[in-house]
């Protein structure tokens, strides 16, 4: 085999390995994002359920403090 063929073969294998590594990294990142999102949603639900007066769904107040 000549040098060009070997270099090309090595380059292709290297690119394939990099692609596989990136795929694994993206998969791990995706799982991490989903886990963090679920945790944030649970914390938000807990916060809203513990608040004494749930103002999250209340209409905005006017300047006089009354609902519109």
- Per-residue pLDDT at 56: 60
Dist. CA 20–CA 13, nearest whole Å: 11
Q: pLDDT tens digits, residue range 11-67?
A: 999 999 999 999 999 999 999 999 999 999 999 988 888 876 656 666 666 666 555
Residues 6+ apart with CB under 8 A from 59: 67, 68
């Amino acid at each position: 085999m000549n040098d060009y063929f070997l270099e090309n073969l090595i380059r292709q294998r290297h690119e394939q390995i990099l692609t596989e590594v990136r795929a694994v990294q993206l998969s791990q990142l995706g799982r991490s994002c989903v886990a963090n999102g679920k945790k944030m949603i649970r914390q938000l639900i807990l916060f809203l359920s513990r608040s004494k007066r749930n103002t999250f769904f209340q209409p905005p107040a006017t300047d006089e403090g009354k609902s519109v």
